[in-house]
Amino acid sequence: MSTSERRRIHRCACATCQQHPYSLMAQQHKAINRVLASLDEKNRRRCVGLLAIQWGSRSISLLSRITGLSRTTIHRGKHELEHPDARERGRVRAPGAGRLPVEKNNPALLRR
């Protein structure tokens, strides 16, 4: 993995990690975030979606606090695992998702 691909490891914001940073639970949350930092966007979303399936749907707010991913993203990852869709296989983002190409944001670049 190159330096540009390396993602910062999210620090869990749950009450346990704040009050007992050396507890077993805090270590587990750190381990989850270390794994997530090594994944691309799609696999990060699906990995947390898998945890949501295993921990139950009431865990989504907690997982959001632990991982820093939005509840919407976690729901989407969970949905993608429960309803695999051939259209999305092999893609990191849905067609049309993400930032605009730089040429579209700054047409002056094309005139040089």
CA count, 13 A, side-chain hemisphere, 108? 1
Minimum separation from the CB atom of position 47 to Zn ion (A): 16
Minimum separation from the CB atom of position 46 to Zn ion (A): 21
Taking the least distance from each CB to Zn ion, the nearer of 14 and 81 is 14
- Interatomic CA distance for residues 47 and 29, integer angstroms: 13
Q: What residues numbered 6-35 form the site for Zn ion, per CB under 5 A?
A: 12, 14, 17, 29
Closest CA to 80 of 94, 98, 63, 69: 94
Taking the least distance from each CB to Zn ion, the nearer of 37 and 79 is 37
The answer to whether the beta carbons of residues 72 and 45 sit under 8 Å apart is: no
Q: For the chain, give percent helix, strand, coil, nearest 5.
A: 60, 0, 40
Taking the least distance from each CB to Zn ion, the nearer of 17 and 47 is 17
Minimum separation from the CB atom of position 31 to Zn ion (A): 11
Q: What residues numbered 67-106 form the site for Zn ion, per CB under 5 A?
A: none
Which stretches of the chain bind Zn ion, using CB under 5 A?
A: 12, 14, 17, 29
